[in-house]
Amino acid sequence: MTLIIRRADERDMADIASFYDVSWRETYLGLMDDGELRGLHQARAECDWLETSARDGALLIAERDGALIGFGACGPARDAALGAAGEVYAIYVAQRLRYRGIGTALMGRMARGLARRGISDIGLWVFHRNVAAVVFARALGAGVGGIRSGDTPTRATELALVWPQAEDLALFDDEEHDRGSRRARHDSGLERFGPHPCLTSCK
Reported as a single tens digit per residue, the pLDDT across 70-102 is: 999 999 998 899 999 999 999 999 999 999 999
Distances (CA, A) of 50 to 95, 97, 113, 123: 21, 23, 17, 17
Task: Give the pLDDT confidence of 15-46 residue by residue, as tens digits.
Answer: 998 898 888 888 877 777 766 666 666 655 55
Quick check: is 88 in a domain? yes
Mean pLDDT rounded to a whole number for the chain: 80
Domain presence at residue 181:
no
Q: Is residue 42 part of a domain?
A: yes
Taking alpha carbons only, the member of 74, 92, 73, 103 closest to residue 18 is: 92
First to last CA, the chain: 12
Q: For residue 80, what are the domain limits?
A: 3-172
Q: Is 93 a member of any domain?
A: yes
Q: Give the CATH number for residue 60.
A: 3.40.630.30
Helices 102-116, 174-188: inter-axial angle, 10-degree rounding: 80
Q: Is residue 16 part of a domain?
A: yes
Residue 57 scores a pLDDT above 60: yes
65 within domain boundaries: yes
Instruction: Indicate whether 86 belongs to any domain.
Output: yes
State the pTM of this model. Answer: 0.79
Q: Are 127 and 31 in contact (CB under 8 A)?
A: yes
- Does 192 map to a domain? no
Order the strands of the 122-127 sheet from edge to edge. 3-7, 58-64, 67-76, 86-93, 122-127, 158-163, 143-148
Domain count, the chain: 1
Mean pLDDT, range 51-59, rounded to an integer: 76
Per-residue model confidence as pLDDT tens digits over 145-202: 999 886 555 567 899 999 999 999 999 997 754 444 344 333 333 333 233 222 222 2
